[in-house]
A and B are shown apart, each in its own frame.
Chain A
């Protein structure tokens, strides 16, 4: 009997032996596609079975399979999964690509981290890889187009120029800048941070996410997290690049022959002596004249960037340290417009027992020189646009030529550049220490102490000069200024996390104190003993009577208490509640504390049983929230009636100046923050294993209590108090969509972001129901306005109704009593519409003629990888915004140059045109009145970035001890599609009531960059 069993067993073994003998083993190595590092712990499963394994410390795996026909699935957190058919191979090496789109299952939120699928607020995230693609100088440039709901417009093309960042629309007439938080510390300016240090940026857009920042969250919050070390690997990285920038185009201005012809026609139209009777001789002599844009542009202005980072650590201690250097020259005003930044950073994280602690320290030094980038009177671009092309740059003896037609500020721009001598320096130290003590698994306390110190050093030297016009100075002057900002903050947050059954519960309660002070000191002195920039210090001034000085102090403090509660059931139903109270020294004793609540909820529909059939649906989540937060940009002492003192009069034979004192303003002790209330709703979906995603968001944001001057009559005799008296509504829609495909050696991903925002002022509680905004040039007052029912900062001007073709038409354009509406008009002049039919053309006939804010903005990013090559293209477009151009030409002077579109002006032979006749006297005010003649569509699409990179083969690179070497070539602003005829369609704003006005803006550059990434 035993023998039968033995026999059967042997038989079975023999029968099955072939199967077992034919059991195959597939082996291989799994590595990271970008760094070639082995990946540890990758899950490999034979599809459709439970047979699987994981990779070891060298990234190697070995899997026994029954046959070589199946499909292996490779999965690893943070990387894109791959399904690879075995197809008879016994060795399969796989490279996994980092999942840029969904790589973080964890998202940074205020005071913590949250699992992405459980987030109930509108938060957009940008990864460091996306930021590095475009090598931006400033963090704001990295935000442009990569997140929906965030509109970023560069303020100008000058190096170091800031950007106008608006999250979900402009919600205030004051300062609409969002709150920037770096590693938990609110910072006073973001330009100190080198983008190469950034690990991720989270933009908190809706009230439920930002309410926890209470009185500072109304304009949105940008959370920046810097890179820390990883315990499992030491990494040394170097990134370097050089680039060349040139203006992306020149504006079409008249050359000398056309200029002289137009000038002659202008004077002739006014029956005045023509200035160039000898025009043909002149043309023979000077040809096309001077191209002033060529003369002031710096072609191939250099740009260099170096950053070196080292990171690593052990299980209990990691560090990341980096240094970066960046130098960028500007494309205008060579030598006088540039930016240089040096940064140093050290981040450490340590664990001992129950305590995690660490530090973040950043030091930056920035030196910059600049010109006014958007100024219509004396800006360098304004001078180059307005000066006549007849004058040469220099005289025969080498000195700068002075134009005989120069007047006021329009003088030789090259000579103007020569006399500019100013410099700003900034030393900034931002850093802090933090510790997190885990009392138990569930309860922990995180405390931190952070400091933000900035020291500014500005100085300038004004030489003696006389450039003609009114541009002259007859004594050398030195100016020095020092400002010292110190902010410290301490934060203590208690965390509690628990789960029971399928419920997860989390709560935080926290307390923060912040104190900020700035001291400033400055002075000037004239008649310097050593008149040059390097030696222009106050002590060298010889004229004691010319000295001026000023100094002072600003202070503010903030104390806050906040709490947040999260609850989720089965990772399907989520709810969150937030409450914060902020007390600020700016609010005055009558209104010391502000209270800001918020709620949000979410439902992951795809987790429901009834959704099981939709196998390809990776996630379908809906979320919504409501919340309130505030803006505390209301000045430090607005609530108290202060006495202003300054020099006001003088007495005595020796003209001694005395100081007068008077109440500067009627006080409003009730002054408080602006309150913003937002309701938002969003849908997040992804398909095919997160290969495709689509997120939609919708919001309504109401801001109340906008600061404005109270409507009091001026016979009261003192400046009106500032009151909270206006409100604005922003409604909008955001879309974020994308896909990622891997197919053999190819992989590509596409990301699209789109934002639509509508802005409307809903109340202005002053007499006229109007807020007057910026004016332009000498006669166009209040081009920007705010009025109920219209967007903030809309353009306010006359509507034109074509051009008068003959005197009969002028005579027919009459008011209700038959009086001529435009008695001074001549054929060829603009027709202005008398909106209110009162027979007079005046301010009451001004209407909305344009809107400086885009209706929608789009970002389109496309990455393509093929073997060792990678290609990235990024387009950004803004549509629907208008630009007001009335300040670009000095109509108040006689001989300024024109843009080439003047060649289509109205003449008796050329009557079918929109451009009025040319005239110097301009009795009809064609060029002096703010009208829709000066409105142009500023929509544009730019190829912001295109990069081609090649990663050298790893064996080649390993020979020098490196793990990766990538070379790349990149172009920025390679293409711009726009109908705008001025220097640049990207105008930005100097404030909500001063937006979209082109005062001859410093244009953006087209840049070519060559660089390399080297990792060890």
Chain B
């Protein structure tokens, strides 16, 4: 009998101890916070905002294909550069970008898409929760929200330029939100413009020194100018977009406001804009910060904060060179761009273009695919700046997104009263004593933009603003007999394809772009 009691006791033990056991089995993650108790203090808001800024440096997407910084991709899509690399097997998807024969399964297109939506997600999270956070004062709350919305608008602008038809949403999506429809591109432009108009008064005019790199109200104004111009010259004629909630004169007013009141101005020597000494110079209204840091490795490429276009665009130096360091020889420059410079008179030539033969730099041309003899110099890795660890991940060269020169030329294109003066100022800085004034016609401004912004990733978008046929003509002319094939098709409207996997995963709610 005793033994049956014992057995019964043993079997009822589970019920008796279940309560204690639940405690024994419940652990809170020791090293991480949980989403439910985040977004409460200003410090939380700061961390969330920094995570949004981080997405500006993303160049590698989420999955299987990396190495697609937006400026490098824009250069390769244009008539300024070829794809490059070490051979036809090195990043063939970049070669497809250059050839404009981009497949719907191109992993880098998916990466470009994914990186921007990650930024939008994080921004939506903060914006949704910002009312619960206690800020020091209303002004602080305003500019935090302004900066988050600025980056969201900037990501949406890049998305709509690259893909045309993208889904538009202002709340963070959850795992069940897969059937989201694409918005009409006009709607996206309207949204961006509206956002910028609203946040311009919320953002700061002066950024303290310790916070250089944060977006100011001037950055928002500059973005508004760029959006307006692109909308006018491309979205309206090519995509049939409707009007923006802001007039041309208002936009010109904003741009002139930057020139007159922001404190930013043209730097007198073009060479001073680049390299580590040029980081956050006075002409840069907003730059993506690239910094040497110890985070990030080959398993988590987006974890690094270095300038990947620099690593990818450097030439393959043989041996040791005191000035230039080794890179992977992507985005080799086209002779077409080189020939447009007046090498003798234009001080920008030597600053923008690296000609190893002339400068006595020994390179391994045999291992530089599509090499024509020229590389971009502005962001070229330099020996003196070599990071002490994880070299490839950490080149510390900021990428300027808006410069005063750009603001001036945009204002000129938009019919500012000071058009000629702005145009002259930019060219004067370039030519110095050899400066001769030419009329600020649209054609001349476009040519000037190409020379002024070489390597900065604006050319492709400027080409599309000149019209699809012009773009096709100029891009296709870069095909060198036999080896390099390029076929820009106007029916694709200059857009990338919507990644096929995204269409599939949206249960076919998303539609593919025309021509694909």
Contacts and interface: CB of A to CB of B under 8 A. Distances in A.
Interface stretch (A99-107, A348-356, A776-784): A776-784
Contacts of A553: 30-31
Contacts of B125: 662-663
A559 B24 contact: yes
Contact of A648 (B11, B50, B92, B292): B50
Interface in B338-393: 364, 366-367, 386, 388-389, 391
A79 to B, nearest CB: 38
Contacts of A473: 389
B436 to A, nearest CB: 38
Contacts of A642: 29, 32-35
A641 interface: yes
A891 B105 contact: no
A662 B90 CA distance: 33
A77 interface: no
B110 A714 contact: yes
A922 B87 contact: yes
A561 interface: yes
Contacts of B110: 714
Interface stretch (B57-65, B262-270, B437-445, B457-465): B57-65
A720 B22 CA distance: 29
Contacts of A718: 118, 121, 172
Given A584-B25, A659-B47, 17 more contacts: A443-B3, A470-B326, A558-B25, A641-B34, A642-B29, A645-B47, A648-B50, A650-B289, A651-B213, A657-B293, A660-B52, A664-B32, A713-B506, A715-B502, A716-B178, A779-B90, A920-B366
Contact of A583 (B21, B50, B52, B87): B21
Give the 6 A-B CB pairs with smallest separation, nearest first.
A717-B121, A660-B51, A928-B89, A648-B54, A661-B47, A660-B50
Interface in B117-132: 117-122, 124-125
B73 to A, nearest CB: 17
Interface stretch (B204-212, B228-236, B411-419, B424-432): B204-212
B48 interface: yes
Nearest to B167: A715
A647 B209 CA distance: 20
B100 to A, nearest CB: 16
A778 B505 contact: no
User: Which of A650, A657, A922 has the most chain B CB atoms inside 10 A of its CB?
Assistant: A650
A716 B510 CA distance: 13
Interface in A404-427: 407-408
B393 to A, nearest CB: 12
Contact of A555 (B27, B33, B52, B502): B27
B117 A443 contact: no
A921 B209 contact: no
A717 B388 contact: no
B386 A474 contact: yes
A527 B389 CA distance: 11
13 contacts: A407-B367, A494-B7, A511-B13, A641-B36, A643-B34, A643-B38, A649-B57, A660-B52, A661-B38, A662-B48, A662-B51, A714-B62, A714-B117
A561 B14 contact: yes
B10 interface: yes
A649 B305 contact: yes
A768 B504 contact: yes
Contact of B89 (A272, A667, A891): A891
B113 A715 contact: yes
A954 interface: no
B90 A778 contact: yes
Nearest to B319: A468
B235 to A, nearest CB: 21
Given A647-B305, A649-B305, A781-B64, A843 B105 contact: yes
A548 interface: yes
B491 interface: no
B405 to A, nearest CB: 22
Contacts of B54: 648-649, 660
A592 interface: yes
A912 B448 CA distance: 59
Nearest to B110: A714
Interface residues of B, number: 101
Contacts of A923: 88
B49 to A, nearest CB: 8
A552 interface: yes
Contact of A557 (B27, B30, B32): B27
Contacts of A649: 50, 53-54, 56-57, 213, 289, 291, 305
Interface of B: 3, 6-7, 10-11, 13-14, 21-22, 24-27, 29-36, 38, 44, 46-54, 56-57, 62-65, 86-92, 103, 105, 107, 110, 113-114, 117-122, 124-125, 166-167, 172-175, 177-178, 180, 209-214, 279-280, 289, 291-295, 303, 305, 320, 326, 364, 366-367, 386, 388-389, 391, 396, 499, 501-502, 504-506, 510
Contacts of A922: 87-89
Interface string A573-592: 00000000101110001001
Interface of A: 272, 407-408, 439-440, 442-443, 466, 470, 473-475, 477, 494, 496, 509, 511, 513, 515, 524, 526-527, 543, 546, 548, 552-559, 561, 563, 581, 583-585, 589, 592, 636-637, 640-664, 666-667, 710-721, 767-768, 772, 775, 778-779, 781-782, 840, 842-843, 891-894, 920-923, 925, 927-928
Nearest to B504: A767
A720 B114 CA distance: 12
A477 B367 contact: no
A641 B39 CA distance: 14
User: Which of B11, B178, B209, B294 has the most chain A CB atoms inside 10 A of its CB?
Assistant: B294
Given A641-B35, A663-B125, A892-B86, A585 B25 contact: yes
Contacts of A779: 89-90, 92
Nearest to A548: B294
A920 B89 CA distance: 11
A821 to B, nearest CB: 15
A546 B390 CA distance: 12
B48 A660 contact: yes
Contact of B178 (A643, A647, A713): A713
Contacts of B396: 655
Contacts of A720: 175
A666 B174 contact: yes
Contacts of A511: 10, 13-14
B200 to A, nearest CB: 21
Contacts of A710: 175
A719 to B, nearest CB: 7
A653 B27 contact: no
Contacts of A655: 279, 289, 291-292, 396
User: Which of B50, B124, B326 has the most chain A CB atoms inside 10 A of its CB?
Assistant: B50
Nearest to A511: B13
Contacts of A442: 3
B209 A556 contact: no
A650 B51 contact: no
Nearest to B364: A407
Contacts of A781: 64-65, 107
A716 B177 contact: yes
A781 B213 CA distance: 37
A333 B42 CA distance: 54
Contacts of B103: 840, 842
A642 B182 CA distance: 30
B117 A513 contact: no
Contacts of B7: 494, 496, 509
A874 B361 CA distance: 62
Nearest to A716: B173
A552 B30 contact: yes
Contacts of B295: 646-648
Contacts of A657: 291, 293, 305
A269 B210 CA distance: 58
A719 B177 CA distance: 14
Contacts of A548: 294
